[in-house]
Amino acid sequence: MRILVTGANGYLGQGVVKSLLELGHEVIAADFATDHVDQRAKRIDCDCFGIEDPYEYFGKPDALLHMAWRDGFVHNSDAHIEDLPKHYRFIKTMIESGIPQVAVMGSMHEIGFYEGSIDEHTPCNPMSMYGIGKNALREATELLCKQKNVTFQWLRGYYIVGNSEYGSSIFSKITAAVHEGKKEFPFTMGQNQYDFVDYPEFCDQVAAAVSQKAVTGIINIGSGKPEKLADRVERFIKENHYDIALKYGAFPDRPYDSKAVWGNTGKIEKIMQGLKG
* Residue-wise pLDDT tens digits, 69-81: 999 888 899 999 9
Residue 238 near residue 246, CB atoms below 8 Å: no
- Domain for residue 172, yes or no? yes
130 is catalytic: yes
- Averaged confidence pLDDT in the chain: 95
Count of other CB atoms within 10 angstroms of residue 123: 7
- Domain for residue 151, yes or no? yes
User: Does 126 lie in the same domain as 242?
Assistant: no
User: Does 115 lie in the same domain as 24?
Assistant: yes
Beta bridge partners of 101: 151
Q: Residue 274: what pLDDT?
A: 87
Contacts for 121 with CB less than 8 Å, ≥ 6 apart: none
User: Does 145 lie in the same domain as 231?
Assistant: no
pLDDT in tens, 8-45: 999 999 999 999 999 999 999 999 999 999 999 999 99
- Domain for residue 253, yes or no? no
Q: Which of 73-77, 83-87, 170-174 has the highest mean pLDDT?
A: 83-87
Residue 195 near residue 260, CB atoms below 8 Å: no
User: Does 218 lie in the same domain as 173?
Assistant: no
Cα–Cα nearest to 58, from 9, 101, 2: 2
Catalytic residue among 11, 55, 114, 130: 130
Q: Which residue has the higher pLDDT, 257 or 171?
A: 171
Residue 270 confidence (pLDDT) above 80: yes
**Environment class of residue 220 by beta-carbon count within 10 Å: exposed (0-12), middle (13-18) or buried (19+)?**
buried
Count of other CB atoms within 10 angstroms of residue 191: 13
User: Does 32 lie in the same domain as 120?
Assistant: yes
- Domain for residue 90, yes or no? yes
User: Does 266 lie in the same domain as 167?
Assistant: no
Indicate which CATH number applies to the domain containing 155.
3.40.50.720
- Residues 141 and 154: their CA atoms lie apart, in Å, by 9
pLDDT in tens, 174-232: 999 999 999 999 999 999 999 999 999 999 999 999 999 999 999 999 999 999 999 99
User: Does 152 lie in the same domain as 165?
Assistant: no
User: Does 36 lie in the same domain as 149?
Assistant: yes
Cα–Cα nearest to 254, from 78, 142, 136, 130: 130
User: Does 152 lie in the same domain as 16?
Assistant: yes
- Domain for residue 135, yes or no? yes
- How much is the average pLDDT of 117-146? 97
- Domain for residue 17, yes or no? yes
Q: Residue 163: what pLDDT?
A: 82
Residue 196 near residue 227, CB atoms below 8 Å: yes
| Total domains, the chain | 2
User: Does 182 lie in the same domain as 114?
Assistant: no
User: Does 20 lie in the same domain as 110?
Assistant: yes
- Domain for residue 254, yes or no? no
* pTM for the full predicted model: 0.94
Residue 169 confidence (pLDDT) above 90: no
Give the rounded distance of the alpha carbon of 178 from its chain centre: 25
Q: Provide the pLDDT confidence category of residue 277 given band limits of 50, 70 and 90.
A: low
Give me the domain span that covers residue 176. Answer: 161-193+226-247
User: Does 165 lie in the same domain as 155?
Assistant: no
